[in-house]
């Protein structure tokens, strides 16, 4: 049964954050359109739609002012719900952006008490995640930025951020948690300008840490597409460096605010290359959908949204398989690699003396038009 291919299974490692399917449709211009769901209800919904994992910010699960007793009760209920619904907790994160205390940033804030509080809050979130089995800890510095560069030198912000990550890595080691941290870049929103705006910024920064091996990245489709960048290229660079610890799948029309659309719903072709890349290289970390349903939906619509994210991924995975097996595509790729095999740089001395026939090299058609149309045929089901 071909359609079985599109049913989510545990092996696909599809996860959703509590804040994604639990999103109530608030935006800067309008209030909630859906009633709130408890974490337990969200886990039940994820079980129903066939997801594998649930992720959370500390305060998605435990309110910021909960007592230790309330916290422990919430954790017990949540753990039970996860068990009953066959849902695991692969990743945890910390909310360092919602509370007014973070108005000038968290790890980069000018007030050292705010910086210390941010570390404390993150350590407690790490404790919470570890208690529920999380192995990946995502850090999205939503407020690490500025409205005016009069407030601090940006290199000072980078140093403070480094100190914070080093501190958290030490805590991770001291507690024996074995977390892998995944830094998530976002180029704009909610500050006027954000430090570390791209995945590449974080990849360069990670090498300057005391424990670079413990830290990788969590690229997000929307965050790369927002400024018109290529998500697959960002992911490829992270992958090639052994740093693709986690991924946020959603969709986004370039140039707009953070839309968090259903995966593959805005740019199918970009989603296809991304899925094909992940499948071709054998990515095995969670596939997290950091998106939410349209504001027009009730919770049935939210389920449609969640099922749609996973279904589109699996359809594109199947398309990628067909692409890899397509005879015409294989023939063109063989020809391309034939030209590649012939190239040989040799020593600098040899290379300097070598004659190149530039006009011959430039005259051969490369068949990329055909390749791309074959791709489109596959995507549109005309192959």
Question: Residue 330 in 3-state DSSP?
Answer: helix
DSSP state of 46: H
Report the nearest approach of Mn ion to the CB of residue 90 (Å): 14
Nearer to Mn ion, 88 or 249 (CB): 249
CA distance 213 to 312: 33
Binding-site partner at residue 93 among ligand GCO, Mn ion, none, CB < 5 to 8 Å by type:
ligand GCO
Give the CA distances from residue 155 to residues 97, 108, 152, 281, 311, in Å, rounded to whole numbers and listed in that order. 21, 10, 8, 36, 43
Interaction between residue 224 and ligand GCO (CB under 6 A) = no
Interaction between residue 135 and ligand GCO (CB under 6 A) = no
Report the nearest approach of ligand GCO to the CB of residue 151 (Å): 22
Give the end-to-end CA distance of the chain in Å, rounded to a whole number. 20
Which residues, 74 to 93, sit near ligand GCO by CB under 6 A? 93
Report the nearest approach of Mn ion to the CB of residue 269 (Å): 21
The residue at minimum Cβ distance from ligand GCO is 140
Structure tokens given for 188: 């704009």
From the list 291, 283, 305, 320, the residue with the least C-alpha distance to 221 is 291
Site string for ligand GCO, 158-187 (x = CB under 6 A): --------------------------x-x-
From the list 232, 286, 294, the residue with the least C-alpha distance to 261 is 294
Triad 256, 230, 261: Cα angle to 5°: 40
Interaction between residue 138 and ligand GCO (CB under 6 A) = yes
Pairing mode, if any, of strands 193-194 and 145-146? antiparallel
The radius of gyration computed from the CA coordinates of the chain, to the nearest angstrom, equals 23
Interaction between residue 220 and ligand GCO (CB under 6 A) = yes
Interaction between residue 220 and Mn ion (CB under 5 A) = yes
From the list 215, 113, 119, 205, the residue with the least C-alpha distance to 159 is 205
Structure tokens given for 336: 């391309």
Report the nearest approach of Mn ion to the CB of residue 341 (Å): 41
Interaction between residue 251 and Mn ion (CB under 5 A) = no
Q: What is the enclosing helix (H) or strand (E) of 288?
A: strand 287-289
Q: 246 near 226, Cβ under 8 Å?
A: no
Nearer to ligand GCO, 115 or 288 (CB): 288
Crossing angle, helix 199-206 and helix 231-240, to 10 degrees? 10
Structure tokens given for 195: 């430090």
Only one of the segments 251-259, 316-324, 340-348, 368-376 lies at the binding site for Mn ion (rule: CB under 5 A); that segment is 251-259
Among residues 58, 60, 224, 248, the one that binds Mn ion under rule CB under 5 A: 248
Binding-site partner at residue 312 among ligand GCO, Mn ion, none, CB < 5 to 8 Å by type:
none
Question: Active-site residue numbers?
Answer: 57, 60
Nearer to ligand GCO, 251 or 290 (CB): 290
Report the nearest approach of ligand GCO to the CB of residue 291 (Å): 9
Among residues 135, 144, 251, 258, the one that binds ligand GCO under rule CB under 6 A: 258
Question: Which parts of this chain interact with ligand GCO (CB under 6 A)?
Answer: 93, 138, 140, 184, 186, 220, 248, 258, 290
Binding site residues, Mn ion, CB under 5 A? 220, 222, 248, 258, 290
């Amino acid at each position: 049964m071909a359609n079985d291919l599109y049913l989510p299974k545990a092996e696909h490692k599809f996860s959703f954050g509590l804040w994604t399917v639990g999103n109530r449709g608030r935006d800067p211009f309008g209030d909630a359109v859906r009633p709130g769901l408890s974490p337990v209800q969200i886990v039940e919904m994820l079980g129903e739609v066939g997801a594998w994992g649930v992720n959370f910010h500390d305060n998605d699960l435990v309110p910021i002012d909960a007592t230790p007793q309330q916290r422990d009760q919430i954790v017990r209920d949540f753990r039970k719900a996860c068990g009953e619904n066959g849902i695991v907790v692969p990743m945890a994160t910390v909310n360092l952006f919602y509370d007014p205390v973070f108005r000038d940033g968290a790890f980069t804030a000018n007030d050292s008490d705010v910086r210390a509080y941010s570390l404390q809050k993150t350590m407690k979130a790490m404790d919470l995640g570890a208690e529920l089995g999380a192995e990946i800890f995502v850090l999205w510095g939503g407020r690490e930025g500025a409205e005016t560069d009069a407030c601090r030198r940006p290199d000072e912000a980078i140093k403070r951020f480094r100190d914070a990550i080093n501190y958290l890595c030490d805590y991770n080691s001291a507690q024996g948690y074995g977390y892998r941290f995944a830094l998530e870049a976002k180029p704009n929103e909610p500050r006027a300008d954000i430090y570390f705006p791209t995945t590449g910024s974080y990849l360069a920064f990670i090498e300057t840490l005391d424990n670079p091996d413990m830290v990788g990245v969590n690229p997000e489709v929307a965050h790369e597409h927002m400024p018109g960048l290529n998500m697959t290229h960002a992911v490829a660079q992270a992958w090639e460096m052994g740093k693709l610890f986690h991924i946020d799948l959603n969709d986004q029309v370039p140039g707009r605010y953070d839309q968090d659309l259903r995966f593959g719903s805005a740019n199918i072709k970009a989603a296809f290359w991304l899925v094909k890349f992940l499948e071709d290289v054998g990515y095995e970390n969670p596939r997290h959908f950091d998106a939410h349903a349209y504001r027009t939906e009730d919770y049935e619509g939210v389920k449609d949204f969640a099922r749609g994210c996973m279904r589109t991924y699996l359809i594109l995975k199947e398309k990628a398989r067909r692409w890899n097996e397509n005879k015409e595509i294989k023939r063109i790729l063989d020809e391309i690699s034939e030209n590649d095999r012939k190239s040989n740089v040799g020593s600098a001395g040899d290379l300097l003396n070598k004659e190149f026939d530039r006009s011959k090299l430039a005259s051969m058609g490369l068949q990329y038009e055909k390749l791309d149309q074959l791709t489109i045929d596959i995507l549109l089901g005309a192959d």
